[in-house]
Amino acid sequence: MWRFFPALWRPHLGMRGLINYNLSCCVNTLLQTFSATWELADLLEKWEAAGVRADSRNLPLQLKRVLAAMRGDLPQLAPHRDFLHCLDRNCIRLNTQHDANEVFLSILNFTQQQMDDQVLALQIQNLYKISVGTYLQCLECGSIQTLNSYLLSLPLHIKEDPNTLEDCMTSFFEPQELRDRNCCFCPQCGTKKPSRKGMKVRSLPRILCVHLERFRNNRGLTYKLDCRVTFPEAFDLSEILTEAFSADFAQNNCKYTLYGVVVHSGSAGFGHYTAYVRDKVNKHWYYADDSHIQQVSWEKVKTTYGGRDRGTAYMLMYRRNSGEEGQQPEFSG
């Protein structure tokens, strides 16, 4: 049975609603997932921000303040207008429909750029950083070109028929052969040759953000895929990406537990964002729709797998299990 918490009453669970201010549902949803990422809030709390205390344009400073307010004990909605106006001053405009993954990446990038403590800024980025190595192998001479880079979210292509998260991940890391018009230049051969392109995981982050690419563009028109994508509450990535780890991958623990789901309802041109987040202490799931907070079951979270006329999961936040950091793979009913 669900329990509904009125907007102006903050229950013991530690969640506070956020009013929808000038089409802010996208940002509200991301703030709920950031608040549930206690590692991020803890790192921001360590930041002294001595030189930017009065800077209304400094996004990590405003993020620090709003996350602290969301963790507070006051019995009203958390104040977040200053954060929204800060986003607006950084070209993430108010009164505008936004893509949640793009705003998420922008917030992380602005945090990296605008913090005066680069050690802490790097630690925040490392929370989400998926280090990868891209390789391009000539299919004629066998020579290999490599490039190391990183992702802050894992963008997964989905098909127009039922998908599983595990299959989407496997497909993302499958090598592709590039032939004919797609041939690539081989420095060894001195000309374009058929090639094999692939990607290997070099290291995994504490927080694994998965972006389900539900929006497509066809001849200048954007449409949304409402098809089914199932995802588990917990998984071991070493059992899914058996062929996708690089030779220098050295992590022993690849087990992750879901703690946040960003949900999109509606069409590509007009929609609404909400979130499901899992409480750190009691392990229960809660639904956040702007100012309204509601306890739900895992069965309710699974309704975001997809289907016509329902909200669909758009971003998934997984946390790597770690015994020394007190994480246990416990589940609510």
Answer yes or no: 272 catalytic.
Answer: yes
Provide the sign of the torsion angle of the four alpha carbons 22, 42, 12, 36, taken in this order.
Answer: positive
The single residue of 85, 183, 184, 272 carrying the catalytic annotation is: 272
Judge whether 186 counts as a catalytic residue.
no
> Of residues 25, 168, 186, 254, which has the active-site annotation?
25
The set of catalytic residues is: 25, 272
